[in-house]
Structure 1
């Protein structure tokens, strides 16, 4: 998959993205005072093939002029009928404020619906204010049952 949004390229994961994706996510987490956890919450970035591709999900990278500036992904979860969790939706500062987050969320929802999933879950942290505002604007409802230690919010949307 290759999608364009303005001067960004949204594309499928390639194994040689691993280092750049990990560095970008670690940098964004640090910006918000959150830690990079390669053996816990971020293990899925270290093992994208196992957690996403082999599990029936997708992991996308976002590039601008050949530089990885963001990620977004989802995989199936056992949280209701035909459920997925959107994960690793992160953008470096230079990719923010241009509508890219909304575009990514819309594209993810479309891909998820096209594959027959019915429920979307998202876990996040309150400090990620832009993310929580985006999810709430796009119809995600606060829910209970946070499963990731560094997160303190969970949202759900039924398709």
Structure 2
């Protein structure tokens, strides 16, 4: 992945992004009074190669003026028919409200569909009101089976096959 949206650059994750991406995710979680779980739900950020890249997923970072302002990722899951889970979609406060989240979600969906996946799952927390609104307005349907402790919502979207 290497694209732009306004003055944001979306690119593939590099090993040098590891500590910055982790700190970014931790700071966004703290903003919403959610716990960061370096030994649990957030350990994948320390192990991007194994959790994402080696499994057929992707992990992107978003930069603005050379500064990391967001992350977005997905990886395959055993949850349905050819399924992935979108994960680690976080933006710093000053990067929100500009359509970047919707753009990233669309780019993720295109990349996922291009790899032949059929279902997209997303877990989130109700306090992440902007995320909930984005997912619900983008065709994600509420489902059951939350697996991440700090989350209380799970959504699924079916991908239509291209004719």
Normalising by the residue count of structure 2, what TM-score does the alignment of the two structures yield?
Answer: 0.97
Cα distance in structure 2, aligned partners of 1:22 and 1:98: 23
Pairs aligned (count): 159
Secondary structure of the residue aligned to 2:44 is helix
Cα distance in structure 2, aligned partners of 1:57 and 1:11: 14
Matched ranges for 1:68-107 at <5 A: 68-107=68-107
Offset of 1:34 from its aligned partner?
0.4
Secondary structure of the residue aligned to 2:80 is coil
Matched ranges for 1:20-99 at <5 A: 20-99=20-99
Cα distance in structure 2, aligned partners of 1:150 and 1:110: 28
Offset of 1:47 from its aligned partner?
0.7
Normalising by the residue count of structure 1, what TM-score does the alignment of the two structures yield?
Answer: 0.99
Deviation by residue 1:17-68 (Cα, 9 ceiling, x = unmatched): 0011001000000000001111001011111111000111000000001100
Listed as ranges, the gaps of 5+ residues in structure 1 are: none
Cα distance in structure 1, aligned partners of 2:158 and 2:138: 12
